[in-house]
Every structure is written in C-alpha cells, then in structure tokens.
Structure 1
Amino acid sequence: MKRALNFNAGPAALPEAVLAKAKKEMMNYQDLGMGVMELSHRSKQFEAINDRTQSLLRLLLNIPDDYEVLFLQGGASLQFTMVPMNLLEEGSTASYVLTGAWSEKALKEAQKIGSATAIASSKSTNYKSIPSLSEINGKPDSSYLHITTNNTIYGTQWHQFPEKINVPLVADMSSDILSRPIHVSSYGLIYAGAQKNLGPSGVTVVIINKQLLKRSRPDLPAMLNYQVQADSNSLYNTPPTLSVYFLMLVLEWAESIGGVQQLERMNQQKAAMLYDAIDRSNGFYKGHAEKDSRSLMNINFTLADDDLSASFLHEAEELGFIGLAGHRSVGGCRASIYNAVPLEHVEQLAKFMNDFRLRN
C-alpha cells in the first residue's frame, strides 16, 4: 500500500505498526466479535485498556506515584481554561511566558478566569527564540508559571527550563511530549493533545501533582474539575475510547523500539538532516528559529520569495510530500517530524531540498 510522506503539523503521522495492529483488531478485539469503538466504557475490557495506557505512560515518562494521569477531552485548548479554573488561587495571579500563538491563546483564556500576565515574551522578534532564563528565574510570585515547550508555528523549543521560580510549573507539551526524556517532578502539571506524538486527535493527557488537586474547588463544573476526573479514573463520562486505545498502541510501540531515549536519538538524527540542508544552502533556505532555540519537532524555513516557495511546495507535492506549507504567520515551509515520521522519509525530504536548491 502506498503511504504518503506525511509531514503534517497535526493531526500527524502514526506508526505503521500501530495502524497495522489496529486494522487487525478493528472488527474483532480480543475475540469479542466487536471493535474497541463498540465496547462499553464500563466494560472490563475497556477498563483494562484505560489502566494499561496509564501504566505505559507512567513507565515511559517515569511518572512518580504522587502524580495523577488523566485522559480528557477538548484538546489542549480546553486546558487553556481548565488550568486557571483549577489552579489560579483567589487573590493571586498566573504567570505566562509567551513563545508563540498557542501561549498567547493560553494567556487570553486565563485572563477570562482571573488575573494572568505575561512575564516574558519573544514576540518582538516574531518568536524566533525562547526568552532567556534570566528573564524568568526568580521572577514569578503567582499561582503558577505556564510555558509551551515546543512551538509548532515558529519552530522553537525549550531546551532549558525555569528552576528558580518557587511556584508550580505548568507546561503545554502537546507537540513534543514523548520526544525526549523529561523530569516530571519538575512540573506541577503537564498537558498534551495526543494528535502529534501520542496518537490520533480526541484525547488529551494531563499529568498533575496530587497536591495541586487540592486547589480544584468543589463548585467547579464536574467535567472541568481535575479532582472529579482523578476520582473517576478519567471515566466520569464516556471517554474517547478509540483514541485511548490508539494511545495505548502508540505507547506499546514506543516501548518496543527502546523508549523515550531511543525516540530522542531518532528525533535528533532526523532534525540534524534537515537543519544541515538549511545551513549548507548558503542562504537559499533560511531557518526561522535562532539556532539555540531550534525545535526537534518542527523545522521551519523560508525561501527567497513566494514564487520560489510555491514552486518548492508544488514539486514536493508531486513527489508525494504532504503538509510542508508553513503557517501563515511565518510563511515558507514547515516539516513536522514527530516521533512516528520515519527516518527514511526525512532522508528523502533532505535529498529533495538539496536537489531543488541545485536546480534553482
């Protein structure tokens, strides 16, 4: 079967092994005569899927016992609201670091709930870099500090993290979770939509320190209350059962190839190929992000003008490359090389970039 050379920013590529297993089980999961999407979420079979998915995520990310793992709906965008609803204390302020469009949206939603402010930003340079830690460390005196660890639109990523802040660190890891090891204990809360590195759209992972659950007020709507979701093991209402199942399969795949450490090595190798094609082009390709802030997930670059970019994208599409157009905020091109994008697809893209440059 022909497979696209998929560089979409999200929803994004899934591992072929995951798709093959899901195809095999689609109509007959564990000899039940029905697929996972037909199971009751109260059945022992789905509860086993839910529990195994949690266990795998705990194993791969080395999540301590004093953290809850939740599978919620609404995407990362709903977390822009749930985080301040649950964590913003009365009379306090929430601090945000702006590194792109998604952190801007997170701040805007928080300001609808209570007092929230940006304490650092790289907007003045069109988000080409991550603000220096000297702008952040020791500064927040608030309920929490929010960051977006990877910025898909601008191709930047945090490589060092705030430490001297004395408040819970909240991180939107939607586009780089599971791509590299993290110290979960450094965070109060981590959230991530699944559709880039974890699975299909429909489920959002939340990892929260149990101490922070005490901030969830009983008068919050039940569906938006972290404590309610934790008490019900993410089964307060009908969850996105098929998405959770796919998440389980992706986590099984990640474990089978060597875990997060191996994924990081693969991601570094893939990113190095494309950044090398950019850096060796003598300015034919220009990366958007500053080198010390470059993302391993989203490689953004521009060409000399719109006509050349259009020609590049047209030829790429003719060769089977999908999803290479840059976001309108930056223009140019963007290659999203999440965990499931095969190395050989990135090799083909790097070769095409070099060939196109030589011909133009």
Structure 2
Amino acid sequence: MLFATFRLISKMTVRKINFGAGPAKIPEEVKMSHRSKEFAAVLQETKQLLRQLMGVPENYEILFMQGGGTGQFAAVPMNLKGDHEFADYIVTGAWSCKAADEARKYIRVKKVFTPSKPYTTIPDQKLWDHDKVNCSRHRISQSFSFDDSKIFHCRILFIFQHGVVFGGTQKNLGAAGLTIVIVRKDLIGKQQQLTPAILSYKEMHDNDSLYNTPAVYGMYITNLVLKWIRDIGGVDAIFEMNKKKAGMLYDVIDNSNGFYSCPVDKACRSYMNICFRVQQGNDAAEAEFLKGAADRGMISLKGHRSVGGIRASLYNAVTVEETALLVDWMREFMASVYSSNVL
C-alpha cells in the first residue's frame, strides 16, 4: 500500500495541531515517509521503468534530483569539469543560452557558432567551430550533456551517445518538482570541490537519490505516467502519435496561403512546441484567435512573452482528438476572417 498512516498521539510524542494560514496541515491518511518501504518500492520501480522505456544501458546511473533543468545548468559543469578547462556549447535557443551563461561561472565556455535572435534556424554542422571529438550538445571532458526536459519520452533517444541526459518531469512525465538525471557511471566523482551536495551526482548516487528528502509525490506521479506510456506501446508509439499531431498543425499552417506562418525553418521545427503567427503577427487577429480558442475550451495557446504569437504545446498527454479540435478552430477562424474581411 502506497500511503502510510500515522496515529495522532503516540506514547513518545504528541503531534502539534497546525492552525496556521500556510503551509497548512496535510491529512494524516495521505502522508508518506521517503524512508518507508512503500516509497523505496516506488523509487526502484520508477528507476526500472525509466531504464526499460528509454533503453538506459547498465553503465548509466539514474538519479532523481530537484531544481529542474535550470539547476542542471550549474550541476553539469560542476560535476563534469574534472581536469578540463573549457566546454563547447551549442546554443540554439533561449534555454541553451541560459545554460551557457550559467556554466561560465564554473568553466570556460565556447559557443560553437554565433546564435542569431530570434532562434529560428541552426547553421549547418559543417560550419560549427568545435572540438571534433564526440561533440553533440554541450561538450565537457569529451562527454556531452543534453537537456531533454521537453522531449523526455516523446521520441527515441540514444542514451549511449551522451554523457549526461537530464530533464524536468513537468512537460511529459508528470508534475513539477522532480528532475531526472541519467549519467554515465565513469563520469560520477569528477565534481569540482565547490559543488553543493544537493547538486552532486556522487552524493546522489551514493545515497540512492535520498541525500535529502526527494520529491516524493512527484516521483509517484511520474511512476504512474511511465506505466501509462508502457501500456500504450512505449516510446515508439508516443513518437508516432506526436509526429501525427505536429503534422496536423503544420499542414494547416503550410497550406493557409500565408494566413498562418511558422517563423522556424522547416528543418528545425519542433514536434512538441508548434509556434505560429496569424496574418504575419496581426495583434488584433491573434487576440481574437486566442479568445475564440478559449471559448471552445482550448487554453494556454498564447506564445512565450519574449516572442509573442501562438504556441501549441503538444506534449504526450495531448491526444490526437484534442489536436483535431485545434485544427478545426484554425480552419474555422481563417474562413471567418476571409468571409468577413474585418481584420
């Protein structure tokens, strides 16, 4: 049984009664100790599900940490620096830019190409200026790290090609608060002396991810999501579904005669986050599109505040049927604008 119950009064202690405005009291029936045998079973099962579904080799360790991908922007250079003084960073967007900026506090950083804003394309790899040995995402000590937050379990990933893969679970694997780190075992123990214990791969490895209190319920939710992925056919099935969903939206965009436009080069487009503009960025038209979508039960379509426009995030739990509703609204809205010629 997952939930452990506790008696209000024991022979040794009397529990305090919390009348505070917050943090508030949690019902005794739903409390669970991270040291309990029930949680130990959840932790090990979650680790095994990840290894099975992602094809994680035995020479890699799976760690459960906190701090999100942003915390790993510091953890990666701290843990992998070793005797090396520099790291190549492939900056393709705002988040990899943040990763490179954070890493500069702990190691010399070189960007393999000069990124141009907005981040809508990636230069040909032949033009990259990088160490030619095994360079992929961010290179440190001839290993590469990969921020996988948005695409965890949305497509096949060859773990053996990376030294470290990390990602928050809040996109495709559950609730916010849990960070999964998959690290090659020979890279553990090379941390800088200044590395905080909470960010140390060695400390987490040596303590089976229980150096401090973990995100207990976040891990439980991730456990359930992993079982759902397994039961619907695994990562292969998820990938095919996500390709289909993205294709449905891009088909409308590319065949709208410019009414909708995607600013990202086709070779660099995402399956997860489909960004587009309405009438080349007509603010009034986009506001009307968002209002109509909300009236039809489709929310959170407004683009990131740094770029504006529309952004449809098609994470794993978004179904093909739900995506079809958005496609229908895009076509309906385009037809209504053309017929009324108001906007």
**TM-score, normalising length from structure 1?**
0.82
Q: Do 2:3 and 2:38's aligned partners in 1 also have CA atoms closer than 8 Å? A: no
**RMSD between superposed Cα atoms in Å:** 2.2
Cα contact 1:36–1:245 (8 A) shared by 2: no
Instruction: Kindly indicate whether the alpha-carbon contact (under 8 Å) linking 1:94 and 1:144 is maintained by their aligned counterparts in 2.
Output: no
Post-superposition CA distance 1:96-153 (Å, at most 9, x none): 11111101110110011121121124425x11123322234x8227997645xxxxxx
Matching residue within 115, 129, 132 for 2:124: 132
Cα distance between partner residues in 1 of 2:130 and 2:320? 41
- Write out aligned runs for 1:42-191 (5 A): 42-124=35-117, 126-136=118-128, 139-140=130-131, 146-147=137-138, 167-191=142-166
Aligned length in residues: 314
Aligned to 2:178: 203
What per-residue deviation string (whole Å, max 9, x for no partner) do you get for residues 158-195 of structure 1?
Answer: xxxx9xx9921110011011101111000000000110
Match of 2:233 among 248, 258, 261: 258
> Could you say which residue in structure 2 is the equivalent of 1:155?
none
Amino acid at match of 2:225: V
Q: Which has the higher contact order (CA 8 A, sep 6+)?
A: 1
> Percent identity among equivalent residues?
40
Distance 1:321 1:46, change over 3 A: same
The corresponding residue for 2:210 is: 235
Aligned to 2:305: 328
TM-aligned CA distance change 1:177 to 1:30, over 3 Å: closer
CA distance in 1, matches of 2:114, 2:271: 21
Q: Distance in 2 between matches of 1:223 and 1:47?
A: 20
TM-superposed CA distance for 1:241, in Å, is 0.1
Any idea what the Cα deviations from partners look like across 1:211-262, whole Å, max 9, x if unmatched?
A: 1113124663221211110111101110010000001000000000000000
Runs of 4+ in structure 1 off by over 4 angstroms are 29-37, 141-145
Cα 1:94–1:166 change in 2 (3 A) is closer
Gaps of 5+ in 2: 7-27, 338-343
**AA in 2 matched with 1:225:** S
Does the Cα contact within 8 Å between 2:5 and 2:29 map onto a contact in 1? Answer: no
Q: Is the Cα contact below 8 Å between 2:63 and 2:205 reproduced in 1? A: yes
What are structure 1's unaligned runs of at least 5 residues? 1-28, 148-161
Q: Secondary structure at the match of 2:229?
A: helix
What is the distance in 1 between the residues matched to 2:183 and 2:253?
A: 39
| Corresponding residue number in structure 2 for 1:353 | 330
